[in-house]
Amino acid sequence: MARKARHLDNSTLISITQRSQSGLFRDNTDRDTLMEILKSAKAKYGFECYAYCLLDDHIFKLILDTKGRNISTIMSSVLVAYANYRQAEGKLFKGRYLSKPLHNDKELHDELELIHKKTDSQYNSYCFHNRNAKQPDQFSISLDTTAILFGEIDSTLSLEEAQSKLQDWMSVKGCNQDKLKKDKALRNQCIAEFRKSTNCSLKTIGLLFDISESSVSKILK
């Protein structure tokens, strides 16, 4: 039976749990490699890593703010890269990762409490919550929960609703669709901002701007 697609929830802040069929981490070199893979994925897709725990040999946990990017694309990139590095015999991961959207400050802090272990290990950190935790510089984020706009993402917009929101955006920017077609830099800025604020599908954005889904994907990278 085909797998069901993941439901796009109305939050970009997501808690991730990935389990392994066998030993996920043989030593700290493996953990360092996964951190480097996360760093590369962060640079490519523009998400933020708010917390992580790589202490257990058979599981790792993350809290990511996708910034409107597709979580499946992000995690596929990370998991494939790590599996290729490990070249483990048999299947490395035990099923798909578990994803849990977080909708408010309390849910965020409750999840942080579940993830965090009582240790000062560099492989276990409140990146977002605890500024004193040991952590790689590339994941360091100042404590400011007001920076997260919980519940601001609407992933269920119809094409008509998306068109209405686009008209509002163009009105604020003082432009129109003809100008967007001529000014690709402005169009790309619009697409990035529109995706972040609405989480519209690539297909819907493609229809709005009369370009292909693959073109939208390239613009958002």
| Per-residue pLDDT in tens (0 to 9) along the chain, 221 residues | 344 444 445 678 899 999 987 789 999 999 999 999 998 998 888 888 888 889 888 999 999 888 778 898 999 999 999 999 998 777 888 788 999 988 877 788 788 878 777 677 778 875 544 444 444 444 443 434 444 444 444 445 677 877 887 888 788 777 888 888 888 888 888 888 777 666 677 778 888 888 887 788 778 76
Q: Based on the domain organization, do 163 and 141 belong to the same domain?
A: no
- Which pLDDT does position 142 carry in this prediction? 40
Examine the fold and report which residue of 112, 147, 182 is the final residue of a domain before the chain moves on: 147
Q: Based on the domain organization, do 137 and 215 belong to the same domain?
A: no
Q: Based on the domain organization, do 40 and 140 belong to the same domain?
A: yes
Burial of 216 (0-12, 13-18, 19+ CB in 10 A): buried
Examine the fold and report which residue of 122, 147, 172 is the final residue of a domain before the chain moves on: 147
Q: List the beta bridge partners of residue 93.
A: 20
Q: Based on the domain organization, do 143 and 177 belong to the same domain?
A: no
**Which positions ≥6 away from 198 have C-beta within 8 Å?**
153, 154, 155, 157, 162, 165
Pairing of strands 13-19, 124-125: unpaired
- Which pLDDT does position 149 carry in this prediction? 43
Q: What is the residue whose two structure tokens read 């749990």?
A: 17
152 lies in some domain:
no
Structural domain for 126, as ranges: 13-147
Q: Based on the domain organization, do 111 and 39 belong to the same domain?
A: yes
For residues 218 and 216, give the distance between their C-alpha atoms in angstroms, rounded to a whole number: 5
Q: What are the helix (H) ranges across 16-158?
A: 28-45, 71-86, 105-115
Q: Based on the domain organization, do 95 and 203 belong to the same domain?
A: no
Examine the fold and report which residue of 147, 175, 207 is the final residue of a domain before the chain moves on: 147
Q: Based on the domain organization, do 101 and 199 belong to the same domain?
A: no
123 lies in some domain:
yes
Q: Based on the domain organization, do 55 and 18 belong to the same domain?
A: yes
- Which pLDDT does position 153 carry in this prediction? 40
Number of domains present in the structure of the chain: 2
Q: Based on the domain organization, do 27 and 82 belong to the same domain?
A: yes
87 lies in some domain:
yes
166 and 193 Cβ atoms separated by less than 8 Å: no
We report the CATH number of the domain holding residue 75 as 3.30.70.1290
Q: List the beta bridge partners of residue 18.
A: 60
195 lies in some domain:
yes
Neighbours of 177 (CB within 10 A): 14
4 lies in some domain:
no
Q: Based on the domain organization, do 30 and 95 belong to the same domain?
A: yes
110 lies in some domain:
yes
Burial of 194 (0-12, 13-18, 19+ CB in 10 A): buried
93 lies in some domain:
yes
8 lies in some domain:
no
- The pTM of the full predicted model, rounded to 2 decimals, is 0.59
Q: Based on the domain organization, do 143 and 59 belong to the same domain?
A: yes
Q: CA angle, 192 as apex, 186 and 198 as ends, to 5°?
A: 125
Q: Based on the domain organization, do 51 and 141 belong to the same domain?
A: yes
Q: Which of 208, 203, 211 is nearest to 169 (CA)?
A: 208
For residues 214 and 206, give the distance between their C-alpha atoms in angstroms, rounded to a whole number: 9
The residue count of the chain comes to: 221
Residue 192 tokens, joined: 């990035």
